[in-house]
């Protein structure tokens, strides 16, 4: 295994797995967290749960159980509004949050974030070359991701959300100054109803330079969810120790 791009950021190995709580209701999310127990420490709470009920009460519930929280709402509005939203979120004990948009939006978020780590979205993993053409982005995907990451770093964001296909590019040009969070992870052959087009395996993501991976469906839909989470944790540990478990 190449060590060239492997994350050097001091993150406990078991916190490098972020479980995406993409379920319809708070009670279902709580049941899943209880079922997974100590196999998962970090959770992503996104738009689906935001619409389902007491979103911030659930975040408090997670923090009371010693969990870390990634709020993935991709804030996108006029800069002043995004800045106020990030400032309010920073008082909730959240660890990571995503924003979308131009330099002014990223700057407003960076100025307001406090201890909250702000992540700029580069290019969604659900988009391929054809989708970006339709949206008017005629540049190469890798060029787009690198350009947005460079601007995010200069402006004061803490990291980016990027496909594992571009993580090594970010490490090559920006070394380890930005956190790289990689969604679209498929540790097993799970291609039914696939809505992620630019996916990678656990090993590929970390060997390419990811600091964290976000995994949802492979754990959520497993026959034994906790066992699947522990399998992924073992894969992560193997990458960082260089040993096969």
- For residue 7, being part of any structural domain is answered with no
* Structural domains in the chain (count): 1
The domain of 77 spans 17-241
CA terminus-to-terminus distance, the chain: 15
Alpha-carbon gap, residue 97 to 188, rounded angstroms: 27
* Residue 49 in domain: yes
Which residues are tagged catalytic? 74
pLDDT of residue 175: 78
DSSP annotation of 66 reads T
Please enumerate in sequence order all residues whose Cβ is within 8 A of that of 113, keeping only pairs 6 or more positions apart, or say none: 86, 87, 90, 97, 158
Q: CA-CA distance, 25 to 21, in Å (whole number)?
A: 10
Confidence of residue 190 (pLDDT cuts 50, 70, 90): very low
**200 occurs within a structural domain:** yes
Q: Considering the domain boundaries, does residue 10 fall inside one?
A: no
Answer yes or no: is pLDDT of 135 > 70. no
For the domain that residue 182 is a member of, what is the CATH number? 3.20.20.70
Residue 164: per-residue pLDDT: 81
Provide mean pLDDT across the span 91-101.
Answer: 94
Q: Give the number of other CB atoms < 10 A from CB of residue 5.
A: 20
Average pLDDT over residues 120-128: 60
Residue 128: pLDDT over 90: no
pLDDT value at position 4?
79
Do 87 and 157 touch, CB atoms closer than 8 A?
no
User: Is the distance from CB of 231 to CB of 36 less than 8 angstroms?
Assistant: no
Is residue 3, in this structure, part of any structural domain at all? no
DSSP result, 154-167 = HHT--EEE--HHHH
Separation between Cα atoms, residue 227 and residue 36, nearest integer Å: 9
pLDDT at 19 exceeding the cut of 60: yes
Residue 133 lies inside a defined structural domain of this protein: yes
38 domain-assigned: yes
| Residue 145 located in a structural domain | yes
């Amino acid at each position: 295994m190449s060590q060239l791009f492997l994350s050097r950021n001091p993150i406990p190995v078991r916190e490098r797995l972020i479980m995406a709580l993409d379920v319809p209701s708070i009670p279902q999310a709580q049941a899943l967290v209880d079922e997974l127990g100590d196999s998962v420490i970090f959770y992503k709470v996104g738009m689906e749960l935001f619409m389902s009920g007491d979103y911030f009460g659930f975040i408090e519930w997670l923090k009371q159980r010693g969990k870390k929280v990634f709020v993935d709402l991709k804030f996108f509005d006029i800069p002043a509004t995004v800045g106020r939203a990030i400032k309010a979120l920073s008082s909730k004990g959240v660890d990571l949050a995503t924003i979308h948009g131009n330099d002014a939006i990223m700057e407003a978020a960076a100025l307001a974030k406090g201890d909250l780590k702000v992540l700029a979205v580069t290019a969604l993993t659900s988009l391929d070359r054809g989708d970006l053409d339709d949206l008017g982005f005629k540049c190469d995907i890798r060029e787009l991701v690198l350009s947005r990451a460079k601007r995010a770093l200069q402006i004061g964001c803490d990291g980016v959300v990027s496909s594992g296909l571009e993580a090594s590019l970010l490490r090559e040009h920006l070394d380890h100054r930005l956190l790289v969070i990689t969604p679209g992870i498929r540790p097993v052959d799970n291609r039914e109803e696939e809505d992620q087009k630019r996916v990678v395996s656990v090993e590929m993501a970390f060997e390419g330079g990811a600091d964290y991976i976000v995994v949802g469906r492979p754990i959520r839909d497993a026959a034994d969810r906790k066992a699947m989470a522990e399998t992924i944790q073992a894969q992560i540990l193997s990458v960082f120790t260089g040993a096969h478990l």
